[in-house]
Amino acid sequence: MTLIDRDPRAYPAVATFAAALATWHPSDPAQQALLGEYHDFITERGDTSLDRDGGPTHITASCFVFNADRTEVLLCFHRKGQFWVQLGGHIEAGDASVADAALREAREEGGISELTALRELPVDLDRHGLGDGFGRCSVHWDVGYAVTAPEGAITAVSNESEDVAWWPVDGLPDNVPPNFGRRVQGVLRELAASRP
């Protein structure tokens, strides 16, 4: 069964997601160019672009969880990938939007229930291929959002990761995906550019 066959109230509507993306104007020219490719992808694939059962290539949602002054980021040690990465995963039935999916994943994978969105719009796009260890998924078109955790928040490890820990944004661990440090710095620049 694909997303198209399901109750449209169960999953975020791709038209709503496309409209939200259309309001974002990334400060980074490379992100702006990638945003155009995302628009083309969701226009071509429709509702199946948000559904992991709609094919091996689909949209995912992730969350960059920062401390209040944005000097640390919460990462999980991904069980399948065997690397440190931001929290996130697939969009599921019951998620009202892609942003809500990112927030749900952050709460599940980090164990912190009280997270505050830094803004409604995404802060990062990252299309990446996956290795054999990821099963039927071959490419994730990830959409990243940003939140803050309260001071002293207690984390918990989920069944999808082996560990969860805070890392300085300028002192990430060695075993992260390629260009991950650049992504974190890009997120921080995007957030700084959107401050009033």
pLDDT digits (tens, 9 = 90+) for 115-131: 999 999 999 999 865 55
Query: Tell me, what's the pLDDT at 141?
Result: 85
The predicted structure's pLDDT at residue 7: 47
Whole-prediction pTM: 0.88
Beta bridge partners of 131: none
- Into how many domains does the chain fold? 1
Integer Cα distance of 152 and 134 in angstroms: 33
pLDDT at 135: 55
Q: What is the pLDDT of residue 48?
A: 81
Specify the residue for token string 């974190």.
184
CATH number of domain containing 137: 3.90.79.10
The per-residue pLDDT for 5 is 43
Task: Give the distance, in angstroms, between the CA of residue 171 and the centroid of all CA atoms in the same chain.
Answer: 21
| 48's tokens | 């199946």
| HEC letters along 84-151 | EECEEEECCCCCCCHHHHHHHHHHHHHCCCCCEECCCCCCEEEEEECCHHHCCCCEEEEEEEEEECCC
Instruction: Give pLDDT < 70 ranges for the chain.
Output: 1-12, 52-55, 57, 128-139, 195-196
| Residue numbers of the domain that contains 151 | 3-193
Per-residue model confidence (pLDDT) at position 3: 36
pLDDT value at residue 107: 95
How many CA atoms, within 13 angstroms, populate the side-chain half-sphere of residue 24? 29
Element (H, E) at 72: strand 72-78
Which of 130, 118, 137 minimizes the C-alpha distance to 64? 118
**CA 42 – CA 64 distance, rounded (Å):** 23
